[in-house]
Every structure is written in C-alpha cells, then in structure tokens.
Amino acid sequence: MNTSDVKPGERVKDVRFTRDTLSVDLVDGRTITAPLAWYPRLLHATPEQRAHWRICGGGYGIHWSEIDEDLSTEGLLRGAPAPYGKKQVAILVSSTHREKARQQTHAPRQRHARLVEQVG
C-alpha cells in the first residue's frame, strides 16, 4: 500500500472472532468480516492465541506473535485470503491424508455397528 492509498479511517480499532469468522472493526465505523478458513494460522489457533493480537503497521495491521500471523486492513478490504506458502500447503496435504486414513480405518467398525443394531 503506498502512502496515497492510506486513509486514516481504515486503521484497526478492534478484532473479534466467531467460530467461523474474523471481524475487524475500523476507526471509521466499518467492520470487515472474513471466513477464518482464509487464514489457516488463525483457523488452527486456539481461542487464547487468537485473543493475543496487537495493532501494528501504524494502525493498519494486526499481528499475532504466538502464531506468526500478520494481516493488513488493505488486504482485508480487498478480500484477499492468506497466501499459501510451502509449509502451509504441506500441512494442509498432510492433514487431508490423515483425515482420509482415519475415515477408512473407522468405516468398517461403523458398518459393523450399524449391522449389529439392525440385527439386535
């Protein structure tokens, strides 16, 4: 963001979370809400880690030191999800493979339990 794009009202006032969203209140009264899924580090952080944020970048940024995440009001206003780095892609791929393996492991037991209920 260059200095001509900086608008004083676009500074961060407050940050809130729901189960699925991040909401950032701006000084000018607007609120930006985005899905947490756009920000994997925040999505996978604990509520306590999410609560430990601070304003940075002259008031136009938000920083979470515990999870090494930084967002800007410019990016939030553009609707820009976090870029995926090599490490984040590896984590997503790994967790997807683990979930598929877990489902395949539990599927025979679940079918057996349904059959027992039907016969029982």
For residue range 76-90, list pLDDT tens digits in order. 999 989 887 555 555
pLDDT value, residue 105:
59
What is the pLDDT, as a whole number, of residue 59? Answer: 96
Helix (H) or strand (E) holding 78: helix 73-78
- Share the mean pLDDT of the chain: 83
* Residue 61 · residue 55 · CB < 8 Å: yes
Q: Are 66 and 49 in contact (CB under 8 A)?
A: yes
pTM above 0.95, yes or no: no
Phi, psi angle pair for 46, to nearest 5°: -75, 160
